[in-house]
Amino acid sequence: MMSRSRRRPMIEEESFIDYDSLGPFDQLVYQIGRSIRVMSKMKIRHVKLVSSPTSVQKVYQALKNSTNWETGLSSKQIENITGLSHGTVFTALEKLIARKKVTQEKRGRRVRYYLAGGEQSA
């Protein structure tokens, strides 16, 4: 006895379909069916999306070792470390101060920024 293949042949192999004689709905169904067959043969590769750090995250990371006045940084030092503009650093510092993550201390004309409460993590 000859063994038969249990694999079912594709629709194109079973019969010829006159696409032009199909109605608009049937043409749409036929196109969707073909798309599904093509897509089912494709291998999907999952890609992990990694976003770049925000300006607030960059400023926070620049201050990670700053826990008091002596180790605190000026806004100019933060600009140099992060490569961000003065306005961007200032806005990020305002957000971190509002969230009570960063302390701003002024002595005379100098202003230093450091992590609030000596915390070490975000």
Domains of the chain and CATH, by start = 11-40 (no CATH), 55-118 (1.10.10.10)
Position 117 confidence tier, pLDDT thresholds 50, 70, 90? confident
Whether 77 shows a pLDDT value over 60: the answer reads: yes
What is the structure's pLDDT at 2? 52
Mean pLDDT of the chain: 82
Residue 59, burial from CB neighbour count under 10 angstroms (0-12, 13-18, 19+): buried
User: pLDDT tens for residues 19-71?
Assistant: 788 889 988 888 888 888 777 777 777 777 777 789 999 999 999 988 888 88
Cα dihedral 113, 108, 90, 96, rounded to 10, equals 40
Higher pLDDT, 4 or 111: 111
Averaged over 91-103, what is the pLDDT?
94
Going by the DSSP 8-state scheme, the letter that residue 46 receives in this structure is -
Distance CA 31, CA 95 (A): 52
Distance CA 108, CA 104 (A): 13
